[in-house]
Structure 1
């Protein structure tokens, strides 16, 4: 049996099923209410459908065309929050949630394998403004009695040097961020004369989401900080979609949503396999989504896991920028397989008709070895000729980014003699 999970305000107890057949039964029991809720929104109201399979996919373009309230299925007086996506693939999309939706969002977030409670201090280092991710973490942590440090990652008030100070001085036990952000903290800590693996003894886990994560990068982060890395996967339009079990497997929350996989080459849709993720959230009031095509490349499989949760496994590969078959996760895996002694943390790559160009930050004494090993690894994995360029540390992430502590001030009208009154209406 899956572990017990907190009951929601609607009286359901997600996790109360014994196997994949029981999971499918739970989904089908909830689906009629989900379809009925969707019919209350302008977007789905005039569409003819009896079953989920009757509907075409709902796309990001549909959400953009429906802006701002074309997807709304309740009276606006019932809304608790409004959010927008990051816009990494185009114009941001709108999403909105009721208080009941928030109970669902919070419950899913607090399923994290390492647990969270009153003894924890969680530093939230994902965006707050408009995006959902920071608010979900804060709500989840507060619901379990934890202390929240709202560090944000879009605020001039919390540059990387300040983040290191907060981690150290407040005895932060858990963090919530992009995986890459943890590497930037490590570099900033070293600039401050601190050892990430020694000088932050309270830190017990790094909770990450927001970008595809390779096993090699995950292992490198854990090695640097001497703390486990726990992955989550979701979207602003849907909330959390997957989380890790105690055995380190990323599971789709299929008790809270129905998942499908689209093969973009054939148009075939199946329950598992490799392709692009399609999701139908269940228990959604404000903004029901039916067969929402997120677009992330995934691999989904239904097999037993030692955790006993009876939830499908997922591997998130990200979005493919080109048609060559190179994935962000695949390339990242090869880069972080380089020996840790090389110190390669920051990189970028660009693919063109002439091949793949990759730049890495690496000390001069390891440059030749790093270039040679990475050239061979990429050449073996992909039918493409890579050009690897070794850059001095600080080329991609300048030291000033890691050490700066900008002065933050409120707007002022009255200044004393000798003060710079050109800053009267500036915030920093």
Structure 2
């Protein structure tokens, strides 16, 4: 796959104001609308394809149900011979959503991913710990690292061949410099390292950054991970249907790539659409050949602000709040932030919460000597932050994440037909 970005793309800083950024969008939009005009899905829509930005602003949203109904190639806007890759969502709710990319799409995806504030270099060893399979995330990181000369360790987080203990060994023994994973994985690695007699902040000196995506990330959890590993945590945000949508600047703010897409904020309660505020994210990619999307309603709750940042990127700032919104303004990222503001010496890395009646049940793994203090402090903090009745329960280490999960070896075996006496031949012809 080519690593050269399409000539119409620009580097961060090649516009000098937010007005210049919007002018950039306006210059790119006609080509995006023309591409949508080649998509069977948009051609069949009663509204047709919008002709300009004013019509786009009134155009119906494209939702996940639309993508499911169009499975597998109803959104395809190029001849299938031009496709480079095909991807699907997990399909856990029924029919999966498809997404597909040409080589030209891939060049732009790679260029966008590599905007990370931590340069990917030929000297890097880059461990990729997000899904490969039919999803996009692992492949984007893999290709971006290869394009910049790095050594890639394709660890994949959906494979039984690379349990947590093995990932820790790889990071340690291979002098891994960069990792790409869910934020939660970095906490699981830290716990697994402890079981192996290693200290994350001391015994992994080559590690220079942890690149994370796939979950909302609160400032408190980001800081806790950075302190655990002694390395910065660099956030990215995106989706399989769109690729990367935002990245963190040197000041830690997550910026929408608004030179590559038009973003809107949708309030489902009122139907109101705006360019900033709190609501659900809507995106119109400006570089997409195979699968153009017009006003794609991702569904993630976000807070978007168009404000200056010390980084000087002149891109809107986004906070990803997650999809769950409970009573009292409760959100996943808000609750997480409160949990990770507990004193680090309490050792709280793993927690879970569930609505129960009008209140909230929270369980935390905490060392027994700190259990009473942690329960008292977290009960007060959550109740104060969200005006909700909360019941906090201290669980012993290993109750939420068992030690066997952190210490287990690979469970994969190849299919076999012939077994020795006493061997478990029920495992014949199966992968585990």
TM superposition score category, shorter chain reference: over 0.9
- Corresponding residue number in structure 2 for 1:12: 9
Cα distance change of structure 1 residues 240 and 19 upon mapping to structure 2, 3 Å threshold: same
CA contact (8 A) 1:276 1:298 kept: yes
Change (3 A) 1:88 1:174: farther
Residue matched to 1:367? 371
Structure 1 distance, partners of 2:309, 2:319, is: 14
Where 1:218 maps in the other structure, the secondary structure is helix
**1: CA distance, partners of 2:395 / 2:429:** 40
SS of structure 1 residue aligned to 2:202: coil
Question: Where does residue 205 of structure 2 map in the other structure?
Answer: 201
Q: 1:223 aligns with which of 216, 219, 227?
A: 227
1:213-256: CA deviation from partner (whole Å, max 9, x where unpaired): 00000000000000000000000000000001122111000010
Matches within 5 A, 1:334-345: 334-345=338-349
Equivalent position to 1:145, from 143, 149, 170: 149
Per-residue CA deviations over 1:318-340 (Å, capped at 9, x if unaligned) read: 11254542100000000000000
Task: Check the 8 A contact 2:83/2:101 in 1, yes or no.
Answer: yes
Is 1:308 the counterpart of 2:312? The answer is yes
Unaligned 5+ runs, structure 1: 1-5
Aligned pairs (5 A) from 1:90-169: 91-169=95-173
Residue aligning to 2:42: 44
Question: CA 1:53–1:407 in structure 2 vs 1: closer, same or farther (change >3 Å)?
Answer: closer
What's the TM-score once normalised by structure 1's chain length? 0.96
Query: Does the 8 Å contact 2:125/2:176 carry over to 1?
Result: yes
Aligned Cα root-mean-square deviation (Å)? 1.5
Structure 1 residue 182 corresponds to structure 2 residue 186:
yes
CA deviation after TM superposition for structure 1 residue 264, in Å: 1.8
In 2, distance between residues paired with 1:336 and 1:354? Answer: 24
**Number of matched residues?**
423
In the alignment, structure 2 segments of 5+ residues that lack a partner are none
- The Cα offsets for residues 288-309 of structure 1, whole Å up to 9 and x where unpaired, read as 0000011111111111112211
The change in CA–CA distance for 1:214 and 1:87 in structure 2 (over 3 A counts) is farther
Deviation at 1:410, TM superposition (A): 1.2
TM-score by length of 2: 0.95
1:406 paired residue number = 410
Alignment pair present for 1:388 and 2:392: yes
> Kindly tell me: are residues 326 and 90 of structure 1, through their superposed partners in 2, closer, same or farther at Cα, counting changes over 3 Å?
farther
- Aligned-partner SS, 1:104: helix
Displacement after TM superposition at 1:354 (Å): 3.7
The aligned residue for residue 22 of structure 2 is 24
SS in 2 for 1:13: coil
Matched, 1:33 2:37: no
Contact 2:414–2:431 at 8 Å: present in 1 too?
yes
Partner of 2:83: 79
Tell me if structure 1 keeps the 8 A contact 2:263–2:283.
Answer: yes
Q: State how far apart, in whole Å, the 1-side matches of 2:68 and 2:11 are.
A: 32
More moved, 327-336 vs 46-55: 46-55
Matched residue, 1:288 = 292
1:172-214 deviation line (CA, Å, top 9, x unaligned): 0000000010000000000000001100000000000000000
Query: Does the residue aligned with 2:170 lie in a helix, a strand or coil?
Result: helix
